[in-house]
Structure 1
């Protein structure tokens, strides 16, 4: 092969089939080799993962552990057969506010929403309003998502639901949600933005003149940060509430412990028996130990006292 002056063809370029006119850097060559190696080992890795999964299932069965619902029973847990008629919608119209990595995270959260809903005895009526964009493109790569038990809509949610039906869920709303009603459609903003676009969903609801509300988190839980949860957390909280009818249980089942501080207690009520902070338990134990030591000291009457 003849090369003109100033052009260099590396060994890696020849291996990857690149022409001399488009030289690639060492980092690009490294990534190409890494990708090639991954593709070659992909089938073997999947085979090992499948064998590992089968082994874990066999071990769990041997221990008599529950393996969860079967595929047959999951097919019966459809939205059509569900006694729950509460509609929850993920609004996927925020592609322009997210980069590719955040879009990927959103799709994973949507997958999680579908997973928990499918495993519920009475699934929510799950809607996904997703017009053409990065989120739709990412879903198309999954391949089988069109077979999900989900109501897919290509139109904006404003064209799918009546304005008086819509309740947009946003932590910036002054209204607090107290119950879920089957004649309403509860909208969850499909946005992963790391708090870069604060108040966006609230402003959108105001512009469209639709109702908005926030979950009653402040009545039960104190968070370490703003009252902003992931899409799948909000979805699952709504699902757990429909199962139990109890916001407190729903929050503590779903919200990660690292995000919570303590249970909010009303002024004229006793503290909840079901949840007690570790700090409170330590204080009670400490007070009891101090009292026991004082009683022992009183009985023995030592010559010198130790200050605790």
Structure 2
């Protein structure tokens, strides 16, 4: 009897996983036809080291995982993404099922009305690379309203940084699109280790 019960449980569990996988795939497919477009601009590979490129591949994996879990996923684009590039090879090596990712590949020049994240891991701090590229293409730019909603928090290392990985920025955008609240978005997506906390007066007003 125990074996039968265990087998039944396993079968139900596998069935549930298949259903969830099918629902996720359907949501991602729907996003490709009517979802908000968001692209990762991967045209700056020449500015990154091998280590930085590997880190970017890992961030793309986390970003895609977040999009799969989102109630209303984005239509993701990877622009200027070449199959003979180191980044492509790292994505395939590090990300299980990468070749089955539900994303689109194109040139950023062909996209209209789309949010763009600069696909750049920059440990050497080359300032304004993505901003200058946006200016080159005459694109509107925006920053996350961190300073309007957050303040520096005292910590032992006196460390404060607004520099975020692309998957962290993405998590904040997903949370904002679902909650329509920057307070909720930063609460969910802004890493505590960055040395910032939400403004107490904003939290009190919300409560």
Query: TM-score over 0.5 for the alignment?
Result: yes
Residue aligning to 1:272: 203
Distance 1:125-1:200 versus aligned 2 partners, 3 A rule: same
Query: Pick from 225, 229, 244: which aligns with 2:179?
Result: 244
With normalisation by structure 1, the TM-score equals 0.53
What SS does the corresponding residue of 2:40 show, helix, strand or coil?
strand
- CA distance 1:236–1:83, change in 2 (3 Å): farther
Contact 2:149/2:202, CA 8 A, preserved across alignment: no
Q: Name the CA shift for 1:262/1:120 in 2 (closer, same or farther; >3 Å).
A: closer
Q: Is the 8 A contact 1:107 1:138 kept in 2?
A: yes
Question: Superposition pairs for residues 18-57 of structure 1, below 5 Å?
Answer: none
Partner in structure 1 of residue 87 of structure 2: 135
Answer with 144-153 or 256-265: which moved more.
256-265
SS at match of 2:204: coil
Q: Alpha carbons of 1:85 and 1:103: their partners in 2 closer, same or farther (altered >3 Å)?
A: same
Deviation digits for residues 163-210 of structure 1 (CA, Å, limit 9, x no counterpart) = xx4xxxxxxxxxxxxxxxxxx311101111125211111111112221
Deviations 1:120-141 (A, max 9, x none): 2221111111333221232343
SS of aligned partner of 1:77: helix
Give the unaligned 5+ runs of structure 2: 1-9, 153-158
Question: TM-score, normalising length from structure 2?
Answer: 0.76
Map Cα deviations across residues 51-102 of structure 1 (whole Å, 9 max, x no partner): xxxxxxx9xx9xxxxx9x8323323322416897221110111111111111
Whether 1:144 and 2:97 are equivalent positions in the alignment is yes
Alpha-carbon distance change, 151 to 110 in structure 1, aligned in 2, over 3 angstroms: same
Query: Any conservation in 2 of the 1:83–1:122 contact (CA below 8 Å)?
Result: no
Higher helix share: 2
- Relative distance call for 1:248 and 1:147 in structure 2 (3 A) is same
Residue among 178, 183, 191 paired with 2:120: 191
Higher Rg of the two aligned structures: 1
